[in-house]
Amino acid sequence: MKALIISADNFEDTELLVPYYRLKEEGIEVVVASLNHGAITGKHGYEVPVDKTLNEVNSDDYAILVLPGGAAPADVRKEPTALDITRDFFLKNKPVAAICHGPQVLISAGLMKGRRATCYKSVADELKEAGAIYEDLEVVVDANLVTSRQPGDLPAFMREMMKQLGL
């Protein structure tokens, strides 16, 4: 089983690294995709190697998509390839887990209409304007979609993310 994390520089470090290590704990191969080759650096200075650029990703290879927060989603949402990959996960009803500012990518992909979800408080208005049913909870699960608000929600976010994978 393989998992895909899409992010960019200035990601919220724990929101990328906690799922990254959690998936690996289960023996799942984790691929980090971003705009360019090399490495991406989090707001707190952690560096994560980029395994693939967005153009190199075949979404069929992955069982789940994880979208961490921080300032990274502001860059990721401008990339049509990232939006295509995200839509592909939804089309195939595969799990997508987005936290904090991560749901901004889902908004830009036009995937939030009528979906129950949460996000970082400063993103809530934008999420509602995109047609989502916003809930201020540590985790919201709507079919294939798992969303959380902030780093403190990571335990609940991980619990539901693993359930989506049957683990």
Window 38-57: residues binding a second copy (CB under 8 A):
44-46
16 membership: H or E segment, kind and range: helix 13-25
Shortest approach of a second copy to residue 112 CB, angstroms? 26
Q: Which residues in 28-66 are b (16+ Cβ under 10 Å) and which e?
A: bebbbbbbeeeebebbeeeebebbbebeebebeebbbbb
Q: Are 128 and 134 in contact (CB under 8 A)?
A: yes
Closest CA to 7 of 55, 64, 68, 94: 68
- The stretch near a second copy (CB under 8 A) out of 71-79, 90-98, 128-136, 153-161 is 153-161
Is 8 an interacting residue with respect to a second copy (CB under 8 A)?
no
Is 101 part of the annotated catalytic residue set? yes
Q: Which CB atom, from 124 or from 154, has the smaller least distance to a second copy?
A: 154
Is 61 an interacting residue with respect to a second copy (CB under 8 A)?
no
Among residues 17, 57, 64, 83, the one that binds a second copy under rule CB under 8 A: 17
Q: How many other CB atoms are found less than 10 A from the CB of residue 164?
A: 18
Catalytic residue among 22, 77, 101, 149: 101
Q: Which CB atom, from 108 or from 150, has the smaller least distance to a second copy?
A: 150
Q: What is the DSSP letter of 4?
A: E
**Binding-site ranges for a second copy (CB under 8 A):** 13-14, 17-18, 21-22, 24-25, 44-46, 154-156, 158-159
